[in-house]
Structure 1
Amino acid sequence: MNELIPFHQMTSEQFLTKLQTQLEHRHLLDEHRNLSLSDCSEQEFLEFFFIEKIFSHEKKLSPHTIKAYRSDAKTLLVFLSEHKLSFRDIGYPEVKAYNKYIREKYAPKSAIRKLEFFRRLLDFGYETQFYQVHLSTWISKPSAKKGHYIIEETRSEAAQTRIQVRELNQRDAEYLISFFPKIVKAHQNREQLEKRNILIGYLLYTTGLRASELLSLNWGSFRYNYQGYLYADVIGKGNKPRTIPIRDETKDRLFDYRKSLGESTEINPEDVSPLFFALYNKKKPYEDKKRLTYPSLYKIVKQAVHLAGKQSKISPHWFRHTFVTMLLEQDVPLAVVKDWAGHSDISTTNIYLERVNQDHSHRHLNKVNLFR
């Protein structure tokens, strides 16, 4: 009977019985009744790693995070295949070779993530007796520059680089958002698509929402406080809830969008239908609301960037950096910015403040009397 019950619906007794039977049948328990993968196949080892270390926690992983884990696993598998190695062949020289390969091929932040994935895999192997030694001790991660930067080569013949901040100034941000509705080419639902796109631009720019947070918004995510101001309740990184105030300009575009869809503008906290959904080739009433995906959002931003003739590397996340920097430049308290941005630690917010202070350093220098 238990065979037909999903794990998450089982009682603790059913779950224990099921797990005992499975592990004992596959000889995956040692004499201390600890999980032992010393004799399992490499496929089983990788499967158990993902089950126990990647998908076991209660937090729901975003599609972006899942994609990153799969990419990290693929990078390791490709390396092993190219060098005719298996997981069981991994030892000190293989760890050092993979470490070197990753550090040379990827930018610091990507290299750190991929080596962290490798470290977790090796630690899991040691914990489950797949590996007899603690191999992860030989991993050496690169250091990454803190903050929101991209590095570009200034000259192909030299190693000199320049740091470019991944954010927009106020004028460029407003100019770019004006192109969000202009990219719409479809005739069906044209008005709705245009109003949807301009709302997306305003939400990115005036709330600092992460792309995943914006796409997760429902109509019920919005509410009025007792003073009559509109707020959005979002579930952020690490499954942490936070509340963000909505500016009147954004509120107006939110209601314009809802009206264009023929939807009610009455705030309803019980409404869990997605705020943004695919509109192409859809007819009223919009019953089958498939939530807008990140590739679709990314495409909207990229097409607007292209039409506006702006820097091609601009992505949805640039608006988040822009929002945080503009708040700090206009003296919004650091703690308030931290809460609005959903930073887990104020040191992250402080990175922005340090750069804002650097950019304003000329103000102090000009006050200094250096010449008589």
Structure 2
Amino acid sequence: MNYLALLNDVTGEQYLAHLQDYLKDRQLLDENRNLSLENSSEQDFLELFFLEKVFPQDKRFSPHTVRAYRSDAKTLLTFLTEHSLSFRDIGFPEVKSYNKFIKEKYAPKSAIRKLEFFRRLLDFGYETQFYKGHLSTWISKPVSKKGHYIIEETRNEEAQTRVQIRELSQKDAESLISFFPKVVKAKTNREQLEKRNLLIGYLLYTTGLRASELLSLNWGSFRYNRKGYLYADVIGKGKKARSIPIREETKAILFDYRTCLGESVEINTEDTSPLFFALYNKKETLLNKKRLTYPALYKIVKEAVYLAGKNLKVTPHWFRHTFVTLLLENDVPLAVVKDWAGHSDISTTNIYLERVNKDNSFVHLNKVNLF
């Protein structure tokens, strides 16, 4: 049994006593009463690493973040298993070998995240005396281009590359969302599924919501402001709340979807039922709504992309990049775009603006009288 997992369920008064008992039973404190894993089991090392460094009690994580951490842990565990290594066996050669493996197998952004997870684990091991050496100093991360790019090799014999932007043109985005209803194959609740998928496409394209934010929407997430315009209130990264205006076209599709389900279109901010849910047997579904999952959303987008004959690399997040770029291309102020997109720092939004300005360079060139 994972004893540390029980700490999540005890009261503040019980927490210290439980933690003291756990550490004392396993002799995990040194003479200065500091955490020492020098003689601990690997299970204790991993449990404490995840409890203290990955999933601390005072933080809440999105499903996307949890999946990413689990993926990073699985990658490392698989590598160790395939090389018949334990965590105690990790030293300089193992760090360099894993580093090389990650950089060769994964794109820069994924490699950076996985190596950062590895670095945190090694640092925790060093801080708790599980490792005698500061092994993370030997990690070297790849350089990742800022922004939403895919780097593809254009020639096998040369290091020449081309940069592909992970976003859609306005024409392609509008075309693609028209295929969202067409991926429905089921006969049961066909109309409801088609309207649900169309609404998903419109919300992705016209709000710039992250996939996790879209899937977390409840009917109660919507409200009218004092001027009578419809807004969606979402909680983004870092528990940061923001409000996003809903276009009239999207509002009409939202209400059409609700009506098709036989549900009220009256705004009720107290309603915590999920906006998007799996539709099987309609009567059972409306009584017990099971929130739509990311794999289901991802599948809808991928099947629509395939039917539309578009770039097969397109994912739900491409619509977010497209939305931000279109706002800036239409002269929406940078600070407003930052708030709508939920960027923690305006420098992130500015990356989009820099590229928009580069795309407009030909317009500026034509204004110059060279002949």
With the shorter chain as reference, the TM-score category is: over 0.9
CA distance in 1, matches of 2:69, 2:8: 23
2:8/2:57 contact within 8 Å kept: no
Give the AA of the match of 1:89: D
**Which string of whole-angstrom CA distances, capped at 9 and with x for unpartnered residues, describes residues 155-198 of structure 1?**
34433221110111111111111111111121211111111011
1:6 offset after TM fit, Å?
Answer: 5.3
CA distance in 2, matches of 1:351, 1:285: 43
Give the AA of the match of 2:209: L
The worse-fitting range, judged by mean Cα deviation, of 287-296 and 153-162 is 153-162
Number of equivalences: 368
Question: Where in structure 2 are there 5+ consecutive unaligned residues?
Answer: none
CA distance in 2, matches of 1:54, 1:210: 22
Question: 1:268-307 alignment to 2 at 5 Å?
Answer: 268-283=268-283, 286-307=286-307
1:233/1:242 contact within 8 Å kept: yes
CA distance in 1, matches of 2:60, 2:276: 20
- Aligned partner of 1:222 in structure 2 is 222
CA distance in 2, matches of 1:78, 1:284: 41
1:325/1:352 contact within 8 Å kept: yes
1:31 offset after TM fit, Å?
Answer: 1.2
- Aligned partner of 2:253 in structure 1 is 253
- Aligned partner of 1:67 in structure 2 is 67
- Aligned partner of 1:366 in structure 2 is 366
1:205 offset after TM fit, Å?
Answer: 0.3
**Which string of whole-angstrom CA distances, capped at 9 and with x for unpartnered residues, describes residues 112-170 of structure 1?**
11110011001110111111222212211111000001122223443322111011111
Give the AA of the match of 1:88: R
- Aligned partner of 1:180 in structure 2 is 180
1:54 offset after TM fit, Å?
Answer: 1.0
1:59/1:239 contact within 8 Å kept: no
- Aligned partner of 1:81 in structure 2 is 81
Give the AA of the match of 1:193: L
**Which string of whole-angstrom CA distances, capped at 9 and with x for unpartnered residues, describes residues 75-117 of structure 1?**
2222223333221122223222222222222211111111100
Question: Where in structure 1 are there 5+ consecutive unaligned residues?
Answer: none
Give the AA of the match of 1:222: F
CA distance in 2, matches of 1:78, 1:187: 42
SS, match of residue 286 in structure 1: helix
SS, match of residue 61 in structure 2: coil
Aligned identity (percent) is 77
SS, match of residue 85 in structure 1: coil
CA distance in 2, matches of 1:135, 1:158: 34
- Aligned partner of 2:313 in structure 1 is 313
SS, match of residue 283 in structure 1: helix
CA distance in 2, matches of 1:37, 1:64: 31
Give the AA of the match of 2:60: K
The worse-fitting range, judged by mean Cα deviation, of 13-22 and 315-324 is 13-22
The worse-fitting range, judged by mean Cα deviation, of 74-83 and 271-280 is 74-83
Give the AA of the match of 1:151: I
- Aligned partner of 1:17 in structure 2 is 17
- Aligned partner of 2:47 in structure 1 is 47
CA distance in 1, matches of 2:194, 2:235: 27
CA distance in 2, matches of 1:97, 1:6: 36
CA distance in 1, matches of 2:182, 2:83: 50
The worse-fitting range, judged by mean Cα deviation, of 167-176 and 274-283 is 274-283
CA distance in 2, matches of 1:278, 1:78: 33
- Aligned partner of 2:169 in structure 1 is 169
1:242/1:340 contact within 8 Å kept: yes
The worse-fitting range, judged by mean Cα deviation, of 7-16 and 114-123 is 7-16
Give the AA of the match of 1:120: R
**Which string of whole-angstrom CA distances, capped at 9 and with x for unpartnered residues, describes residues 25-56 of structure 1?**
11111111112111111122112111111111
- Aligned partner of 1:195 in structure 2 is 195
- Aligned partner of 1:333 in structure 2 is 333
CA distance in 2, matches of 1:245, 1:233: 9
Question: 1:140-155 alignment to 2 at 5 Å?
Answer: 140-155=140-155
CA distance in 2, matches of 1:253, 1:82: 51
The worse-fitting range, judged by mean Cα deviation, of 349-358 and 132-141 is 132-141
Q: Structure 2 length normalisation: TM-score?
A: 0.95
CA distance in 2, matches of 1:295, 1:8: 28
The worse-fitting range, judged by mean Cα deviation, of 150-159 and 15-24 is 150-159
SS, match of residue 231 in structure 1: strand
CA distance in 1, matches of 2:325, 2:12: 49
The worse-fitting range, judged by mean Cα deviation, of 214-223 and 70-79 is 70-79
RMSD between aligned residues: 1.6
1:177/1:198 contact within 8 Å kept: yes
